[in-house]
Chains A and B, each alone.
Chain A
Amino acid sequence: MLAVLKKELLTYFTTSIGYIFMGVFLLISGILFTMGNIFGMNSDYPSFLGGLIMIFLLVVPLLTMKTYSEESKLKTDQLLMTAPQSTAGIVAGKFLAAASLFLLTLIITGLYPLFLSFHARLDTAQIIGTYIGFFFLGASFISIGVYISSLTDSQAGAAILTFCVLIITWIIDFIGSVMPVTPLSGVVFALILTALAALWMYNATKTPLAAAIPVVFGLIIIGAVYLINQDLYINLIGKTLSWFSLTKRFSNFPLGILKLDAVIYYLSFSGFFLFLTTQRIEKQRWS
């Protein structure tokens, strides 16, 4: 893991990717900070930092597009996969390298509040809290990017797809708010999910019997819940979509509230995507 981490960090700086990522992020954030906070004489740093997420979202694909797609394209994955290393360790190394570069960039932006502190009184704890939130949110974005990079051997494809998925997580609350809220729509949604589970099961095992298991269990659970507490189906679509809303959980950090559940959410979100990546790569051995 450590070897991969070191190598990835090295490649960020021997190729131009690392410089472009840091340069673009720092340039845009610097312009926004100068215009908004210095010229605008605004000392509300946490909300500035919150706004930076959108900029970060734009540059995440740069950070992650190469992680795995380039390895499989140039067949260097043969070196990694035949080395005495666990796949999970390799994935973790790659993720941590991207996260470290991101952390380094965030630390540099720490100069901004330092400048502000000469002119205004700042709530240090609040700012640190926002940074913590930003870092965990960013790590979740990176984990999505790493996963998508393992799906394709085209860097450009990985970058575009990552960008689209991140935009969707950004607007997912909005999508959820326009979804129908009736119990019936909730039931239909649950049925669709069951069908998808069955389809996935069939794809993985190629036996109709295995596909029948999620169908039977799904129908029983849907039916039982409907009889016991119909209200659970109200706005089910919106509620489900909000599980994937990364930005909603960030909103507390700029207010100075450090919520453990949000941190755990981000960590498990990243962990889940890294797990998917590991599975995906491990699966290539078997296909």
Chain B
Amino acid sequence: MIKAIDLTKRYGKHTAVNKINFEIAKGEIIGFLGPNGAGKSTTMNMISGYFAPTDGKILVDGEDILDDPEKTRGKIGYLPEHPPLYMDMTVKEYLKFAGQLKKIKPADLKGDIDRITDLVKITDVRGRLIKNLSKGYRQRVGMAQALLGNPQLLILDEPTVGLDPKQIIEIRNLIKDLSDDHTIILSSHILPEISAVCDRVLIINKGEIVASDTPENLAENLAGMHKLHLQVKGDEEKIRKALDTLDVLKDVTVQSAREEGVMSVLVEAGKDADIREDVFYALAKKKCPILQMRPMDMSLEEIFLNLTTVEGGAN
């Protein structure tokens, strides 16, 4: 549905987004991930038509968005980083205005507003002035604005900022529900959110895409190691001796755990080696019972830090 070709944005001499290429299929949920100032919001602003790219182009449904900007903008619902709210309006007035801007037929608009205020759970504050709402409510009003007119493409820039954990889960579920008939691009710095919701993650750093894959694949490919976390009964020396007999292990760290006489052990093997059985028998032979064994996948946080800091250092 969307294709970005050599997309570039420069502000004077500063390059915010540098020749990025990506493609998003219909119905996909894509997560933009990156540190602050990486170019996530700039990229979203370009897709939504708020900024024009300095170079390169964006195709929506095969058409360059600059050919008929008004038509393309009509297909997109956009929630920017700062929800564009008019503080002196009530929620209802605001949504009515947003609907009129989006050229929703007056006959459909009322029903649409009812449906969406229900969906994002702001029905009870419809008559209140936006300036009197809490941050979480404001965020949801912004979200409602993006959903008006049921656009095919939703661009959500940090949609869960300022929400409490319960609301975050609600919004997450909402996004999942919407994904049935919408294409969604969202950005976040909360990583579990991305892995919980997105089909695919684009990690952006310094205006460039440094990785693009499913959250699971990213974790698998980039972890590079098979790690196990163990709780073993016995003293350190005995455990080390037992594990030294295994050649596949690359790294072993042993620390005393909270429980007395129990060590907390971290073993790392080369990629794709399943060491669970070997570790079990090796320790069993030395009469060191394993109380707990837990595979340690590299979390998205670690991958993210890995990619952005390593890449950053290399530049």
User: What is the 8 Å Cβ interface bit string for chain B, positions 61-103, against chain A (1 contact, 0 not)?
Assistant: 0000000001101101010101011111100010001101111
Task: For the complex, give the distance between the alpha carbons of A3 and B97 in Å.
Answer: 6
Within 8 A of B (CB), among A1-40: 2-4, 6-7, 10-11, 14-15
B40-55 vs A, Cβ < 8 Å mask (1 yes, 0 no): 0000010011111010
> Across the interface, which residues of B come within 8 angstroms of A287, CB to CB?
11
Interface with B: A78-86, A163-171, A175-183, A223-231, which one?
A: A78-86
Question: Is A119 in contact with chain B by the CB < 8 A criterion?
Answer: no
Task: Report A-chain residues with C-beta under 8 Å of the C-beta of B88.
Answer: 11, 14-15
Interface positions, chain A 59-86, Cβ under 8 Å from B, are 74-86
Residue of A nearest to B53 (CB): A286
Cross-chain contact of A10 among B80, B89, B98 (Cβ < 8 A): B89
Q: Which of A4, A6, A285 is B52 in contact with, Cβ under 8 Å?
A: A285
A76 to B88 CA separation, bound complex (whole angstroms): 12
* Interface residues in B2-28 (C-beta closer than 8 Å to A): 11
Contacts of A14 in B (CB 8 A): 88-89
CB-based contact A11/B86 at 8 Å: yes
In the complex, are the beta carbons of A3 and B100 less than 8 A apart? yes
B98 → A minimal CB distance (Å) = 7
A7 neighbours in B (Cβ, 8 Å): 86, 89, 97, 100
Interface centre among B52, B76, B86 (most CB of A within 10 A): B86
Please determine whether B100 and A78 come into contact, CB atoms closer than 8 angstroms: no
Instruction: Please report the total number of A residues contacting B with Cβ < 8 Å.
Output: 25
Nearest-neighbor residue (CB-CB) of B72 within chain A? A84
Report the minimal beta-carbon distance from A134 to chain B, rounded to whole angstroms.
30
Q: Is B145 an interface residue (CB 8 A)?
A: yes
Give A143-197 interface residues, CB cut-off 8 Å to B: none
Q: Which residues of B contact A6 (CB under 8 A)?
A: 97, 100
A84 touching B70 in the complex, CB below 8 Å, given contacts A78-B80, A287-B11? yes
**How many angstroms from the CA of A14 to the CA of B93 in the assembled complex?**
11
Which residues on the A side are within 8 Å of B78 (C-beta)?
A: 78, 82
Quote the shortest CB–CB distance from B52 to chain A (angstroms).
5
Residue of B nearest to A2 (CB): B100
Q: Is the CB of A75 within 8 A of B82?
A: yes
A79 (CB) vs chain B CBs: closest residue? B84
Given A75-B80, A79-B101, A85–B70 Cβ distance below 8 Å?
Answer: yes
Q: Which of A74, A79, A85, A287 has the most CB of B within 10 A?
A: A79
A280 to B101, CA, bound (A): 21
- The answer to whether A84 touches B73 (Cβ under 8 A) is yes
Contacts beyond the supplied A75-B80, A82-B73, A286-B52: 12 A-B pairs with Cβ under 8 Å: A4-B101, A7-B86, A74-B84, A74-B85, A75-B82, A77-B84, A80-B101, A82-B48, A83-B73, A285-B51, A285-B52, A286-B51
In the assembled complex, 16 residue pairs joining A and B whose CB atoms fall closer than 8 Å, in A order, are A7-B89, A11-B88, A14-B88, A15-B88, A74-B86, A76-B84, A78-B45, A78-B78, A79-B84, A79-B101, A81-B49, A82-B73, A83-B98, A83-B101, A83-B102, A84-B71
